């Protein structure tokens, strides 16, 4: 039985990474796919943990040989998901989570129609800007670009299966976890997981 592929996307500053990390603490059996990126690491970012940091030339070479499950230009930087990080795990029945942007999400939905996609919204534009500035890791020009790009990103929220507003973090996390729980209780999965139980319950006396 193939695992479920979860997609979580959001405009930069909406709190996507914090929510994903907290979700993985609640559901540690979900495998997080660590993306590749051509940008330089921010302070405290660890190669192989937050991203696989590679040169733009190496990223383009990987893309040319079909190494990516999806990839896109995000705020001027290339980001992508390795096929090797996703396909074998799904084949083993493991659930996998991709923390990607709306462009990559569109590619994944087209290639994997059974995926479950979630878009994270900030509670307001003012709060989005405040969070971006509070990170203190980007230049004023980068923050301005991310804010400008957020309009296009939010415009694609309707393409996703679920939308979670990250106003109160605990409530947003509970909603994100509830999505996973609901997906795992779908009849098509439960019937496969509990085939032996069903056989027993359906046995003639």
For residue 158, what pLDDT is reported? 96
Q: DSSP H helical segments within the chain, as ranges?
A: 16-26, 56-64, 87-91, 102-111, 125-134, 140-155, 169-184, 187-193, 195-201
| Mean per-residue pLDDT, 97-108 | 93
Beta-bridged to residue 68, according to DSSP, are 82
For residue 31, what pLDDT is reported? 95
Using one digit for the tens of pLDDT, what is the confidence trace for 7-31?
Answer: 999 998 999 999 999 999 999 999 9
For residue 74, what pLDDT is reported? 82
Closest listed residue to residue 75, CA positions, set 145, 172, 153: 145
pLDDT of 138 strictly over 80 = no
For residue 43, what pLDDT is reported? 83
- DSSP per residue, 34-61: PPEESSPPPTT--BTTTBEE--HHHHHH
| Mean per-residue pLDDT, 24-50 | 91
For residue 50, what pLDDT is reported? 86
Looking at per-residue confidence, does 47 or 162 come out higher?
A: 162
| Mean per-residue pLDDT, 69-96 | 90
Between 3.30.365.10, 3.40.50.300, 3.40.50.12780, 3.30.1390.20, what CATH number should domain 5-33+95-201 receive? Answer: 3.40.50.300
Q: Where are the domains of the chain?
A: 5-33+95-201
For residue 89, what pLDDT is reported? 93
Name the pLDDT band for 159 (thresholds 50, 70, 90): very high
Residue with tokens 């230049």: 139
Cα torsion angle, 99, 171, 94, 193, sign = negative
| Mean per-residue pLDDT, 134-150 | 85
First to last CA, the chain: 31
Using one digit for the tens of pLDDT, what is the confidence trace for 103-117?
Answer: 999 999 998 989 999
Chain centroid to CA 141: 26
Please give the helix or strand (H or E) that residue 9 lies within, else none.
strand 5-9
- Is 8 strand, coil or helix? strand
Name the pLDDT band for 120 (thresholds 50, 70, 90): very high
Percent of the chain with pLDDT over 70: 100
| Mean per-residue pLDDT, 84-90 | 91
pTM above 0.85, yes or no: yes
Residues 6+ apart with CB under 8 A from 74: 101, 103
Looking at per-residue confidence, does 1 or 132 come out higher?
A: 132
Name the pLDDT band for 198 (thresholds 50, 70, 90): very high
């Amino acid at each position: 039985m193939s695992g479920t592929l979860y997609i979580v996307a959001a405009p930069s500053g909406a709190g996507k990474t914090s929510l994903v990390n907290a979700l993985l603490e609640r559901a540690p059996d979900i495998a997080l796919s660590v993306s590749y990126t051509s940008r330089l690491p921010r302070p405290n970012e660890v190669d192989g943990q937050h991203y696989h940091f590679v040169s733009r030339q190496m990223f383009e070479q990987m893309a040319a040989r079909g190494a990516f499950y999806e990839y896109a230009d995000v705020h001027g930087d290339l980001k992508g998901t390795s096929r090797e990080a996703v396909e074998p795990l799904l084949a083993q029945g493991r659930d996998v989570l991709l923390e990607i942007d709306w462009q990559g999400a569109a590619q994944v939905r087209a290639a994997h129609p059974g995926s479950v996609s979630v878009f994270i919204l900030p509670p307001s534009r003012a709060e989005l800007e405040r969070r971006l500035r509070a990170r203190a890791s980007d230049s004023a020009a980068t923050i301005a670009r991310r804010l400008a790009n957020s309009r296009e990103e939010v415009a694609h929220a309707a393409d996703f299966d679920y939308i979670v507003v990250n106003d109160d973090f605990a409530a947003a996390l509970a909603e994100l976890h509830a999505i996973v729980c609901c997906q795992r209780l779908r009849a098509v999965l439960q019937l496969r997981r509990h085939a032996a139980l069903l056989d027993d319950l359906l046995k003639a006396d």
